[in-house]
Amino acid sequence: MLPGDHTSRAMRLVVSIDRDDDLGRKASVAGPVVGRASVLEAAVRLGTVDPEDSDTNALFAAVNLFDELKGAGEECEVCALTGSGKVGVLSDRRVADQFDEVLARTGATSAYLVSDGAEDEFLFPILASRVKVDGVRRVYVRQNASIESTYYTVVRALKDPKLRAKTVLPIALVLLILGIAAAASVVIWGVIGLAIVLGVYLIFWTFDIDEAIIDSIRSASTDIRQGSVAFGFGLFAIALVGVGFLSGYNAYYASHAPPLDRVVLFLQSALLWWLIGAVVWECGRAIRRTLSRGRFPRSFAVATTSIIGIGFVSFGSLLLVQYLQGVSSPAQLPVMVGLLVAGFGLVIGAGVLQQYFKSLAARAVLEPVAPS
């Protein structure tokens, strides 16, 4: 390459992903971390706090690969992306947002993933959907087999907060509730309470509800400090949800129908307010992203279409229950069928729209960049 062509050389990004945010939880390092000095400092801080964390080795390996590429005369940069302690959709969304931020700052056109395990490699599609991925470097930690034992491995593993939350916490809840119930001689109520508590726990754990609540609180705190309009939309959405509960409560106790019919009335009265609250919430998020990024988010159309589709399906299902209970007349069948068909169509359309937007983003990344 000629000296005058230096400005047209493609930028390659060396990426280390900390999907469970050990950097943030243990070393108080917020992602994204960009630059050799910053990544090296983050690795030292994490290694100082927890010398046995494999993410430390991944960070050092990323710096090592960066040095190799730099020594070969390539234009490159190194970065570390962090997710969340509750690995799932929200952690992956954080990684994707941080990767977009790093791409905007560096202008990289390709990437190289440095991974310490298969968990981080689950995020390979996030990188590949935005830039060309040249390869993946796995980091293996060599250990002396003579010091390893089953007891040592289990004890060290149980010190991981993520593993404790998945294994020890449910067992602790079972023993605690059954113990209290046995002491109070109400074992049957203990079993009922145990079923409810474990059910709520599994729902929160499966759908990352606790992480969503924490993220919402953090986002609200940021919005308050920055004077964002999204905070007002959020409060209004929560108020609408409360109005929905109040409206459903009034409909439930005003009726003298059987319990199932009263529950249907509760949902019919509350559902409309809940759907409006969800749309208001998405409007606030869309306005915040528009003001921060300078463009209206495509995800707003997908989310709004999904909400309306779910609303149609929900109302149609409630009419179906009323019809099966003999509460509604056959004249409502066309309305019920129309709501169900339109609702499923909108939900499917939202999925198609999401895939279309993804294909547009992938096409934009794959388009050749004109040399400067």
**Which residue, 188, 162, 194, 163, is CA-closest to 176?**
194
- Tell me the C-alpha distance between 295 and 100, whole Å: 14
Asked if residue 99 lies in contact with residue 108, where contact means CB atoms within 8 angstroms, the answer is: no
Question: Burial level of 244, CB count in 10 A (0-12/13-18/19+)?
Answer: buried
Distance of CA 128 to the CA centre of its chain: 18
| φ/ψ (deg, to 5) at 152 | -65, -45
pLDDT digits (tens, 9 = 90+) for 109-160: 888 888 876 566 677 888 888 888 888 888 766 554 444 455 455 655 566 6
Asked if residue 59 lies in contact with residue 42, where contact means CB atoms within 8 angstroms, the answer is: yes
pLDDT digits (tens, 9 = 90+) for 76-120: 899 999 888 777 777 888 888 898 889 888 888 888 888 876 566
Q: What is the DSSP-derived secondary structure letter of residue 133?
A: E
pLDDT digits (tens, 9 = 90+) for 273-323: 999 998 998 888 888 788 777 778 888 888 889 889 998 998 888 888 888
pLDDT (average), residues 13-34: 85
50: CB partners within 8 A, 6+ apart: 22, 26, 56
**Which residue, 359, 263, 272, is CA-closest to 307?**
272
Query: Residue 110 is encoded by which pair of tokens?
Result: 């390709």
Q: What is the pLDDT of residue 78?
A: 92
Beta-bridge partners for 224: none
pLDDT digits (tens, 9 = 90+) for 37-74: 999 998 899 888 888 777 888 889 889 999 998 888 88
pLDDT band, very low/low/confident/very high, at 232 (cuts 50, 70, 90): confident
pTM of the predicted model, to two decimals? 0.48
